[in-house]
């Protein structure tokens, strides 16, 4: 999972210079982690916890949304270093703690909530536009997208997600 996800980043976005990361936690209700010039925010959208790293600039137009497999949480994207790697690659990324049991409607609800959330400084929304560049769905989390496809909602999902990146998608076997 780690190597496949990092490989996607290397292929999909321009590589940036590596730098040492520094971590500091704020004392507010939302935690902030500073890593290589980017902030990783922690919050909740539509009752779903998330980490978010925003790279709003004139050269950044990629936004990835990361789900997790059955045995993992959004925390694993951070502790593995993958979230920080995305942040250093000038990619806006949101790691959701959406349950692997969630249906496509819950994913849509969370994405809509992220589009209405703004950064603490009152600036840009967390999710600035649809479709998001990519949705990474390791393991069982891919069933969220498959639910939408199998219930005839593929067109709705296409409006919100440009690229679906299933990783170790064994959960898809139950839909065949």
1-11 average pLDDT score = 39
Q: Residue 47 pLDDT > 60, yes or no?
A: yes
Rounded (10°) angle between helices 143-150 and 104-116: 110
* Confidence band for 32, pLDDT divided at 50, 70 and 90: low
Class of residue 84 by CB neighbours under 10 A (exposed 0-12, middle 13-18, buried 19+):
buried
Q: What is the pLDDT of residues 110-157, one digit of tens each?
A: 999 998 877 665 667 788 788 999 999 998 888 899 999 999 999 999
CB 113 within 8 A of CB 106: no
Specify the pTM. 0.76
What gap in Å lies between CA 9 and CA 87, rounded to an integer?
Answer: 10
Q: What is the pLDDT of residues 69-111, one digit of tens each?
A: 888 999 999 999 899 888 888 788 999 999 989 999 999 999 9
The pLDDT score that the predictor gives to residue 175 is 64
Going from the C-alpha of 169 to that of each of 30, 68, 134, the distances in angstroms are 32, 11, 16
The pLDDT score that the predictor gives to residue 65 is 95
* Confidence band for 1, pLDDT divided at 50, 70 and 90: very low
The pLDDT score that the predictor gives to residue 4 is 39
């Amino acid at each position: 999972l780690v190597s496949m996800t990092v490989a996607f980043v290397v292929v999909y976005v321009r590589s940036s210079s590596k730098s040492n990361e520094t971590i500091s936690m704020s004392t507010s209700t939302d935690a902030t982690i500073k890593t290589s010039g980017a902030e990783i925010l922690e919050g909740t959208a539509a009752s779903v916890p998330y980490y978010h790293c925003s790279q709003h600039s004139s050269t950044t137009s990629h936004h990835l949304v990361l789900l997790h497999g059955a045995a993992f949480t959004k925390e694993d994207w951070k502790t593995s270093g993958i979230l920080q790697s995305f942040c250093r690659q000038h990619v806006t990324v949101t790691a959701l703690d959406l349950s692997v049991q969630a249906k496509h409607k819950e994913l849509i609800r969370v994405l809509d909530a992220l589009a209405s959330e703004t950064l603490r400084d009152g600036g840009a929304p967390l999710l600035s536009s649809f479709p998001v560049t990519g949705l990474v769905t390791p393991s069982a989390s891919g069933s969220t997208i498959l639910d939408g496809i199998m219930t005839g909602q593929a067109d709705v999902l296409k409006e919100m997600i440009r690229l679906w990146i299933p990783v170790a998608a064994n959960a898809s076997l139950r839909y065949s």
